[in-house]
A and B are shown apart, each in its own frame.
Chain A
Amino acid sequence: MTNYLLRRSGQMVLTLFLIVTLAFFLVQAQPGDYAAFYSLNPDIPAEAREQIKASFGLDKPLWQQYLIHMKNTLTGNFGVSFGHYPRPVIEVLAERLPRTIVLFLSATAVSFYLGFFLGKAIAWRRGGVLEYAATISGATLFTAFTPAFALMMIWIFAFKLGWLPVGKFLDPLIWRGAEVTANHVFSYMLATAAAFVVFAFLTLLVARKSGRFATGRLPFLIIAAGAVAIPVAWAFTGIGYLALDILRHMILPIATLTLISFAGTMLLTRNSMLETMREDYVMAARAKGLPEKVVRDRHAARNALLPVITSLVYSLIFAIDGSVIIEGVFSWPGTGMTLLQAVRSEDLPLVMGAMVFIGLFSLLAHVIVDVLYVYLDPRIRYQ
């Protein structure tokens, strides 16, 4: 396992290096340069323009710029943003990353769960109305034109019905007097989620190891107790209402993302289930006369989950990647929106930084899924 992880990390570093290089040369190969933007203002004298070029390192030869870029990337500061001059790129990205992560991890989790749940159901009742309805609506939503669909969701739920806010991630009137920044709250939310996942994981682990109460409801009750403890704890921090405000703003984007992306997981689960259902042990379980539900959930679905987990990587990457579109519509200032604005304003260092960040994120997703896979499938041992 250690060997495997080492090798995997080596690959990651190499891949990352390639992504960084690719990002640099893509950006360099584009026609036009940033200083041209300044040169378009007739009131700025030529010396000032030269000076701007110099301060951005644009006057140096290409290979020097590349070395500067590499050095910056390795030391983690990604250079200085043009558009936010003189803020370092890393600062701009670090400020937006938690927002993207909170939103898209939650959305991926919800859509994954929904997809898995539906996939299981339609595989079990093959050819039923549910299968047709779920497949067609899933595929339609999956291919629906995202920006228009998201806007429609806002129109219905935020405007017509007035249930939810129109985009953004907070309500200024609620936050005006707040003493903390939104990122502060976001990071606490992330920490809470991580803590909860670890807690739930450990509970299940202990339950499985001890074996005695593994089949009972106790583990779930413990986890539920943990879940209830979270809001209680938050209520005492004094910033609970801020977190709640953020959560309220997350509902609509999460719902939209879920509707768009559950179909992939659903159809994959269905296929995986159909394959597992032909396995002997499922036949055997049925032959024993076990209840359908038990066979489905305990025997078939658990094993069908394995290949589906692999697709979790793709769902994650898809979600982070799709953030470019979704964030714009929901005025959610995360990495995707940053990338889009950066390419539009030719903020080249920020473009490169955002690309590397998004690339890094998808690499991490790969590794996490690899590890998860080992845990879930005892047959696999990485050498």
Chain B
Amino acid sequence: MTSVKLTILCASLLSMFVLLGCRPEVVREEVVREVEVVVTATPAPGASAQTGQPSAPTDRAPDPTPGQQPAVATPETSTAGDVTENVYQLGISEDLTTTNYWTYLGPDGTIWNSYVLGGSKPSLYSYSAQRYDWVPSLAEDFPTPLAEETVAGQNLWTTEVPLKQGVKWSDGNDVTAEDFVFTAHTVAELELSGNWPSIVDSEYFDHAEALDPYRLKIYFKQKPGLARWQFGMAFMPILSKTYWEPVVAEAKQAGDVIEQQKVLYAHVPESEPTAGGFGFTRWERGAYAEKERNSNYYFADSVVALYANGAYAESKTGAYEFTAYGEPGGDKTLEYTVGPYAGSAIYSIYSSQDATVLALKKGDIDFMLNPLGLSRGLQEQLEGEDGLAVIENASDGMRYLSFNFRKEPMGNKAFRQAVATLIDKEFLTSTVLQGVAIPMYTTVPEGNRAWYNPDVPLIGKGLSRGERISQAVQLLKDAGFTWETEPRISEDGRFVEQAGEGLKMPNGEPMPAMEILAPSPGYDPLRSTFAIWIERWLNEVGIPVRADLTGFNLIVDKVFTRQDFDMWILGWKLTAYPDYLEAFFHSRHSGLEGHNAGGYNNPEFDRLADRLLAETDLESARQQVFEMQAFLAEDLPYVVLFDTPLVEAYRSGQVDYPYTETWGGLQSASGMPALVHFK
């Protein structure tokens, strides 16, 4: 009987496949026909939302610069038919949580949302490719300097911005100053949450006004610093007034602000107009999202050039021409033409990195978007593969060790310097971690050329084991620390023969047992490796610390929520404009849940930080940031430990990018859907 049943089962299965199998071909043809409709492109980089993934070793980032990359573009003579056949396939590891732009920059600011949704909205200004110059995007030129003005008895600061003409939404309407005014006022009136307050800061922003459709005037309550205006509102994504006005009006009918926000956030947009290279078309939850080319993309075919002498040039034949930062001339470091060259971009979800890599190797996807990049084993595996290219870029992260200044000996500068001296980052990164991590010394990464101060002392760089110990011992002794038994180093200087014992603090009390809170190996093996080695090195000179490898949430709770800790190791994702220095180290942020959880307090530093916030001039802001770095390098509220290089891979047999060298890798440019070429 069994065999009969099996036969029947097989037969019916077979017939099922045969019957169903003949169908797909027919339908697939239809699919191709439908696709031809749209032509689009997306400006890419810049749109970084905070990394919502606690699984990402760099914990939450202090950056949401929602600005978009220069909406750049270039001539493209090929027929639309050719281009639309290209499908740019990307792999992502987690599903979107929303397709609503308000929600994405509000409570749902995940990196995956930003990969897919970012770049579809215009902004007044943006960063240039590679160099992170501040350049106009929707704006026609730089804004007028801030001026003081009295409006209705109020003293306000104003600026005017000329807009490009002819920029269109995908529904055919013009992008005008009204759209900007609408977006900014909506954020202010509904008090939108998440990343919005940092874009439209109600302490500064008063209102905006469209002088005419292409001339915008913005009013500030107080003089906005660079962070509020140039690197804040100027990067604000602009949403279509025509589409959103009814939704916002409906939201305003709801009860309190929170209810109003809920209505806005809950709206699921359908064929919302885009001004980027692509428009969102389909989201099959849990499986993939698709964007199609925007035929009205204004920046398509524009040409962008960066010159070695620092000049920036952007032009579109018959539309506009723009140059800044010097006369274009001499060698070009980069030149490209904006696309998009793809008919659509598909983002497929593969929930494990291994599966994504297999899909990439198999040819199912062209590029994998991953904020952490590839691990070394996978990199090694992909390196020799045919048709695949592996690239490596500096990333925009920083992992650090920090101290609780409220407790001794952590409040002692000599102690912190001794700890910094004892940590052999080169040994750990090159020898133990095999180059998976890069040693880092400063709170502004060296890769951030414009803001990095090259003259600050790098404590402990390049010392041998023996030198480290003797220097650290000397630092502590000079500050009045004493031992019962001093640590003794072996003759060759490689090992400690006799660990230090009975360490006493300058006040004569024995040094208390301390704990370093650090992520567990499961969460981040790199940081936990650092913690374990730091424990070992400090114990060798007699400092009684123990590494407590624990969950991320628990560290956050102890450090930021309750401030009950000795030392901790975590990380940040950093922005190009380093106003985060103020947020991390100004003493006014040292209360509970503040970011200066360690309680660093230096009035001189505070003064500089306050000035930085109010600064409106790029050059003097730079000077202040340099001085702030000098303080931090010596006071060491953070011992900056390391950063990881970002390794990515793409199908070079299939796609090509105008450039692949960029801070944070191709993923920071969301995979450049508007620039990618097809072979």
Question: Contact residues of A with B, CB < 8 Å?
Answer: 30-33, 36-46, 48-49, 51-52, 54-55, 82-87, 95-96, 99, 117, 151, 154-155, 158-159, 162, 165-170, 172-178, 181-183, 217, 220-221, 223-224, 227-228, 230-232, 234-235, 238, 240-241, 243-245, 297, 327-331, 333, 337, 341, 344-346
Contact = CB atoms under 8 A, between A and B. Distances in A.
Given A86-B265, A333-B351, 17 more contacts: A33-B557, A42-B580, A55-B193, A86-B107, A96-B286, A172-B348, A173-B87, A176-B290, A177-B31, A182-B286, A240-B23, A244-B17, A244-B23, A331-B349, A331-B351, A345-B53, A346-B54
B108 A84 contact: yes
A73 to B, nearest CB: 20
Interface centre among A33, A55, A87, A166 (most CB of B within 10 A): A166
9 contacts: A32-B556, A36-B561, A43-B64, A168-B350, A228-B16, A231-B19, A240-B20, A329-B352, A331-B355
B64 A166 contact: no
A176 B60 contact: no
Nearest to A233: B19
B655 interface: no
A95 B358 CA distance: 27
A32 B557 contact: yes
B555 to A, nearest CB: 9
Contacts of B584: 42
**Contact-residue bracket for chain B:** 35 or more
A181 B197 contact: no
Nearest to B344: A176
Given A41-B60, A240-B20, A36 B557 contact: yes
Contact of A224 (B12, B21, B561): B12
Contacts of B15: 228, 231
B106 to A, nearest CB: 8
A124 B191 CA distance: 73
B27 A333 contact: no
Contacts of A331: 349-352, 355
B55 interface: yes
A182 B282 CA distance: 12
Interface stretch (B90-98, B446-454, B492-500): B90-98
A13 B346 CA distance: 45
Contact of B61 (A41, A49, A52): A41
A45 B193 CA distance: 9
A17 B482 CA distance: 62
B583 interface: yes
A44 B64 CA distance: 10
Contacts of B506: none
A31 B20 contact: no
B589 interface: yes
Interface string B1-45: 110110011011001110111111001101100110000000000
A45 B197 contact: yes
B258 interface: yes
A51 B34 contact: no
Contacts of B416: none
A52 B55 CA distance: 22
A333 B560 contact: no
B358 A154 contact: yes
A199 to B, nearest CB: 13
Interface string B177-212: 000000000000001011101100100000000000
Contact of A41 (B30, B50, B201, B288): B50
B293 interface: no
Contacts, number: 251
Q: 4 tightest CB-CB pairs across the interface, nearest first?
A: A333-B286, A177-B31, A42-B583, A43-B198
B593 interface: yes
Contacts of A224: 8-9, 11-12
Contacts of A346: 54, 553
A307 B584 CA distance: 64
B359 A166 contact: yes
Residue from B54, B89, B97, B261 whose CB has the most chain A CB atoms within 10 Å: B97
Contacts of B607: none
B52 A83 contact: yes
Given A32-B561, A41-B64, A220-B5, A182 B20 contact: no
A85 B87 contact: no
A166 B362 contact: yes
A217 B4 contact: yes
B62 interface: yes
A166 B364 contact: yes
A151 B355 CA distance: 8
A16 to B, nearest CB: 27
Interface in B601-647: none
B103 A182 contact: no
A51 B348 CA distance: 34
A240 B26 CA distance: 12
A330 B349 CA distance: 10
Given A169-B286, A244-B24, A154 B355 contact: yes
B284 A329 contact: no
A157 B194 CA distance: 44
Contacts of B30: 177
Contacts of A38: 194
Given A85-B107, A333-B349, A155 B358 contact: yes
B20 A44 contact: no
A58 to B, nearest CB: 12
B589 A84 contact: no
Interface string B555-595: 01100110000000000000000001001100001000101
A231 B16 CA distance: 5
Contacts of A245: 24
B258 A175 contact: no
A40, A45, A49, A333: residue with the most chain B Cβ atoms closer than 10 Å? A40
A266 to B, nearest CB: 16
Contact of B287 (A159, A182, A235): A182
B400 to A, nearest CB: 14
Contact of A84 (B2, B16, B98): B98
Interface in B527-561: 553-554, 556-557, 560-561
Contact of B194 (A44, A235, A328): A44
Contacts of A220: 1, 4-5, 8
A174 B28 contact: yes
Contacts of B34: 176-177
A157 to B, nearest CB: 11
Contacts of B131: none
Given A41-B62, A333-B351, A244 B28 contact: no
Contacts of B589: 42
B579 to A, nearest CB: 9
Nearest to A99: B286
Among B5, B59, B197, residue most surrounded by chain A Cβ atoms (within 10 Å)? B197
